[in-house]
Amino acid sequence: LVGSCVLPLFTAIPDGAIMLFSGLGPIENAQDTLSVGVGALTGSTILVLTLPWAASILEGRVDIHPTSGELGYKLHPKISKTRRWKKTLFYTGVHVNRAVKIGGYVLLLTAFPYLLIQLPASYLVSDYHEGDDALTVGESFWSLFALLMSLTGFIGYILYQVQKSYSGKNVAMNLRREAVTQKAVVDGMLSLSAALGQFVVEADQWINSESNHEEYKSMGSDNSISLPTEVYNKLLHILNPIFIKYDCEPKDGMLNQREMHYLFRDMHEDISDAQINTLFHQFDMDQDGRISFDEFVHATAYVIKKSYNRDIQNSLSLQSIDNWKHSGSRSFSFEEEVEEMPKDLANKRPEKQQMVIKIRALVMLISGTTLILLFSEPLVGVMDEIGKRSNIPSFYLSFVIVPFISNAPELISTQFYSRKKTRKSITIALSALQGSAVMNNTVCLMIFMGLVHFRGLEWNYSTETMLILGIEAVLAMFTRKEVLTTLDAIFIAMLFPLSLLILIVM
């Protein structure tokens, strides 16, 4: 629920707050200052769908085979450094996941309230003069209608995300959650048990009650562990880069006992050397002195489950096997490659770690939201004052400047994900940008319509409305493609300056 509902809502707070404060204050000044909020809304919506979208394609692009059209996600390197400009434009790009395609349709659907106010407003303006009471009454009615539709769209979007979250079919959110979990584990922010314990334990309980609905991967008769496909696939995606990182001597796709010891130690699993020794021999099914990735996944699931349930001390029998510490040198170390977990959390139980992390996250969210609300009103005043002193309309200033401020987290995080050059990471990046635009179409537009209706402000933003609808329609068309190329990225990037030019001319 946090990833599917809370975080998308928080992404809309900066633009929503700027829109709200721009329409407050004395009524004689509200119409002028509202242009700051409208500029921020227009610029923010167009920005997230153009420049960072194009940058994500450029950062995440891989080679495309000229004849088969297959993307080189499995190649090394994934993109050739020496290419002619023609091949770069047409034969490098990113995969468009089904989740991104659906996001394009959702984006268009949530933009419908723009038409609810724009079409009647165009008709009313042609029949009445500015300032007429009939014009004000007409715009007030349609703005209320658009407000209710925006509210409906927002509730519908949240319910859709909740339903997808519970059903496990929200592809983009699941990928994003896996990526965040993976980074938290690798960076030492969470132990494996804290990050995945609840999921593994709940899945295990679900197995006991509905085992006939899943195919299981079994470790064999010597082990009582069975993993459902859901658990196995999740652990596979999260553990694969960790396994590769610790597979060092030699790099053969297997872990020896020493490497496995360092891995669990750096992942902050509180297991003794003797227990690691026993665990290794318990899951080394072919007894060749090495653990394959499949065996490692099952062993990790076992450790996570037992550690989360606080009974790992009793679950591993301490067999009298020669201590591995005397069998080889410790010439390699990973201390400098993995950040340390905060000292106050390193020795706590997984459930305690989760509780502290959630409290800290909540405090950070509340603190950040408070700062946004405190600085939004002064920002509106600053933009308005700069416009007056520079003789540049405040609308254009807020269109260009404010979106980079309010959308900074999305701009940074999407580029971080795109650089990984995987299908999963590019889906996360593009879906995040779509989600930000959807929040503008619902939450921010709802605030805008509320100001028009309850404060009696005039609707003078036909060009801005049609521009937003046009950009969203173009992006929805692009998401219908299977592959977005470098040429597509250049075209999409040009939409932002083109939009500004259209606004200036019209």
Tokens of 296: 């490692």
Contact 103, 427 (CB under 8 A): no
Q: How far apart are CA 459 and CA 31, in angstroms?
A: 9
Query: What per-residue confidence (pLDDT) applies to 498?
Result: 94
Q: Residue 289: left (phi > 0), alpha (psi -120 to 50), or beta?
A: left
Query: What per-residue confidence (pLDDT) applies to 93?
Result: 92
The tens digit of pLDDT for each residue in 359-384 reads 877 788 788 778 877 888 788 888 88
Tokens of 54: 């194009």
Neighbour count for residue 417 (Cβ, 10 Å): 25
Query: What per-residue confidence (pLDDT) applies to 465?
Result: 87
Q: Where are the beta strands (DSSP E) in 176-317?
A: 216-218, 226-228
pTM beyond 0.85, yes or no: no
| Mean pLDDT per 10-residue section of the chain, whose length is 506 residues | 59 85 82 86 93 93 89 83 80 90 91 81 56 58 86 88 66 64 68 71 48 36 53 78 78 81 76 78 78 84 72 38 33 33 54 70 80 82 86 88 85 85 86 89 90 82 88 94 94 94 87
Query: What per-residue confidence (pLDDT) applies to 487?
Result: 94
Q: What are phi and psi of 5, to 5 degrees?
A: -120, -55
Q: What 3-state DSSP class applies to 287?
A: coil
The tens digit of pLDDT for each residue in 21-53 reads 888 878 778 888 888 888 989 999 999 999 999
Q: How far apart are CA 457 and CA 27, in angstroms?
A: 8
Q: How far apart are CA 281 and CA 287, in angstroms?
A: 7
Nearest to 435 by CA among 77, 199, 157, 62: 157
DSSP state of 335: T
Nearest to 380 by CA among 11, 6, 30: 30
Query: What per-residue confidence (pLDDT) applies to 225?
Result: 45
Query: What per-residue confidence (pLDDT) applies to 220?
Result: 40
C-alpha distances in Å from residue 280, one per residue of 112, 156, 287, 365, 498: 58, 49, 10, 41, 61
The tens digit of pLDDT for each residue in 328-347 reads 333 333 333 333 345 555 55
Please provide the size of the chain in residues. Answer: 506
Query: What per-residue confidence (pLDDT) applies to 496?
Result: 94
Query: What per-residue confidence (pLDDT) applies to 108?
Result: 92
